[in-house]
A and B are shown apart, each in its own frame.
Chain A
Amino acid sequence: MISTLSFVSVSDLVIGLSLGSRLFLIAVGLSLIFGVLGVLNFAHGALYMIGAYLALAFTTQVIDNFWIGVVAGAIGVGVIGVLIEVGTIRPLYDRVEADLDQLIVTFGFVLVIHEVVRFVWGSQPYSTPAPDALAFSVSVSGSTFSAYRLFVIVAALVVMAALWLFIRRTYFGALVRGTSSDREMASMLGVDVPRLYTGVFFLGSFLAGLGGALSAPLQSTSPALGEQVIIDAFIIVVIGGLGSMFGAFVGAMFVGLMQAIGPSFIAAGHIAIPFLAMVLVLLVRPEGLFGGLGE
């Protein structure tokens, strides 16, 4: 079902980058948590969904302020992440089958969070209005898109830069890099590894919540949201390399652009192309394009 071929429009580009930006915010947290803790957090999509619901609640149901919703979404989800890590994942670190147990536990949280959200908000989708200051359209080369979409792209770039500085230039970042390389050595050198793990889990969850909250005005918010994004997030971190921030960024932008451009060229191209890219990466470079947090 090939449709008419055409050059990529400005609109495709902006939409693709904005999709990539929100995917980056979720994928980078997933990648960070795996890179440092070795935990494949299946509940990461559900955490992203909570961020979107908190933004929705603060924007339309509690105080009519989107920006407070974004802050509440990010911090609230970060705190939920801490509770999950301390309460259910930490006791599993030393088990023989820790990876499998962690996977099952985090998958359990997918179901729990999904049902809690359905109980609180119902199963119908909601729309979150963009903040007033950005609630206008921009026209470039005949393409129209919302100013808020541009803001999300800028926000993702800022988060990327801040994360890079945080990991590369701060003491905590050095501890994170050291612990991700060799947990036992870090522990012998006096690093409080459990506390560091909790901090990283908070940071990863915080980013998921931030991504969900910032994305809320660009999409409908429903209980299906978490399941939709977690698959994309896994594709991104496999392509970019589990544990790599830069890989998450490149992978997210690639998947975002394919999602925007794919439908113009081939039916289901937006789904098929990222999957094919993932398969290709797994065959040629199994560790991903940019493996390792410290690169």
Chain B
Amino acid sequence: MAGKPCTDDVQNGRNGLDRRTFLKGAAGGAAVTTVAGCLGGGDDTISLGALYIFSGFGSLYGEEAERGYELAVEEINNDGGIDGQDVEIISRDTEGDPNAGIRQMTSLIEEENVDGLFGLDSSSVAQSIAPQVQEYQMPLMATHAATPFLTSPEGEHDNSVGNEWVFRNSNSLSHDMYGAAQVAATLELDEWATIGPDYAFGYETWDYFQAYCEGIGVDTAFTEEQFPALEESDYSPYISSILDAEPDGVITPLWGSDLTTFLGQAEQSGWFDEIEYTLFSVGMGTDLPADGSPLPEGELASTRYDPFEPDTEENNEFRETYVEEYDTLPTYNAEGAYRAVYLYRNAIEEAGTNADEIRSTFEESEHTGPVGEYAFAPETNQATVPAIWGEVSYDDEYESNVLDSLEVSDPSPEEMQQALEDAGSDLPTGV
């Protein structure tokens, strides 16, 4: 708890022997911890820890998030901070690696004494960190990592790691794939295939897409699947295998610079002439950096936030401020990070820096942001934000890809559960 009097633990109801304090003591000794707690941050600062990928294939997501949270910090501090205290973000690079993620999380909690955590781009990192924040009793607001198992309560499924300390303010892969299945229902294609990254996110995307398609009655076949390693430099064998299978549609959760690499090589292979529709689940046009390969116009992509939807004063103001500041449209990762800082501001203003009170405030309040109004669902702590699918086009004014003909998918948890049951799937909805 950066910059607080060292008696805060007593004041906020934790008696100094709670689990978090015990863990700190085990790591460095109670006396050392006390000193470290006094040294962290300044007396007039609220510290939040940001965990994103800042290097390697997913670094552009960290850069986008950084823009979002820096904008929020600037706005909040210019507006007097949180109860007179400035907000500071201490960012750490997870490298997309679970072990690195845990190391950085531990450092933020034990050394930097942050008041809360947010971020996470990779599902595998998020799944590794979720049990740890529960141990530390530290709130975590996931803004990007999409695995449903992150918010599926522990015990619901073998892979579920959801707990009362983990929240997600963006929509999940499960929600996104329900929307994708709805899109597939309208396209009426005979055969679908996938090419995704060779880790949980790639496989889960394909599993949920198939399950929801079957659950909502899409009459189609699933014929080919390819899962290249992360940071693959040459996708041509995988592209060739997909093209040889001649599916009508392909859904791909490739992301980061892997998506950029894939796009260039797919274009060379005649992919977009041969595949009728490609659904990019993580590839909304502005998701890519200015120097990346843009998504081809006419293809379909999803996003967890659209800069033009909803058409509210809050969203429009955020979009224009962001464009003025960074000369580009905000991506969903920027918006998620921006909103996470405001969630903490609102919670701390209402409840102080007590971790348990922050968590309760997240749970109990109605929230609003550029993405619209939402709440965190009981049991899962998953934000009730819609999945958005649309057709990729190019906007001359913003010099960026945007989505047209938006299909906003906002099913109830019951509808999603029913679809999975009808498909005979044991996957959790995570919502």
Contact = CB atoms under 8 A, between A and B. Distances in A.
A137 B60 CA distance: 30
Contact of A264 (B59, B60, B241, B269): B241
Nearest to B58: A124
Contacts of A137: 268, 270
Contacts of B240: 9, 11-12, 15, 143, 260, 264
A124 B59 contact: yes
A225 B57 CA distance: 12
B236 A125 contact: no
Nearest to B293: A127
Given A15-B240, A125-B57, A264-B244, A220 B227 contact: no
B245 A3 contact: yes
Interface string B266-295: 001110011000000000000000000100
Give the secondary structure class of A's interface.
Answer: mixed
A144 B270 contact: yes
Interface residues of B, number: 31
Interface string A1-45: 101101001011001101100000000000000000000000000
A267 interface: yes
Interface string A209-243: 00000000011111011001000000000000000
Interface string B48-80: 000000011101100000000000000000000
A264 to B, nearest CB: 4
A263 B257 contact: no
A4 B57 contact: no
Nearest to B57: A125
A106 interface: no
Interface centre among A124, A218, A260, A267, by most chain B C-beta atoms within 10 angstroms, is: A124
Nearest to B195: A263
Contacts of B293: 127
Contact of A127 (B244, B264, B273): B264
A25 B233 CA distance: 17
A93 interface: no
Interface string B257-269: 1001100100011
B64 to A, nearest CB: 13
Contacts of A261: 237
B314 interface: no
Nearest to A262: B237
Contacts of B241: 3, 12, 263-264
B231 interface: yes
A127 to B, nearest CB: 5
A243 B245 CA distance: 40
B233 A220 contact: yes
A97 to B, nearest CB: 33
B234 interface: yes
A137 B264 CA distance: 13
B243 interface: yes
B234 A219 contact: yes
Nearest to A225: B233
Contact of B231 (A139, A145, A222): A222
Contact of B270 (A139, A222, A264): A139
Contacts of A149: 236
Interface centre among B223, B241, B260, B274, by most chain A C-beta atoms within 10 angstroms, is: B241
Given A3-B223, A19-B234, 19 more contacts: A1-B225, A3-B241, A4-B223, A4-B245, A9-B240, A11-B240, A16-B237, A125-B57, A125-B231, A127-B293, A143-B240, A144-B273, A219-B261, A220-B257, A220-B260, A221-B233, A224-B233, A259-B237, A263-B238
Closest 8 CB pairs of A and B: A144-B270, A219-B233, A220-B261, A219-B234, A264-B241, A260-B237, A263-B241, A123-B55
27 contacts: A3-B223, A3-B224, A4-B224, A9-B240, A11-B269, A15-B236, A15-B240, A16-B237, A19-B234, A123-B56, A124-B56, A124-B60, A125-B257, A125-B260, A143-B243, A144-B270, A144-B273, A146-B269, A219-B234, A220-B234, A220-B257, A220-B260, A225-B233, A259-B237, A263-B226, A264-B244, A267-B227
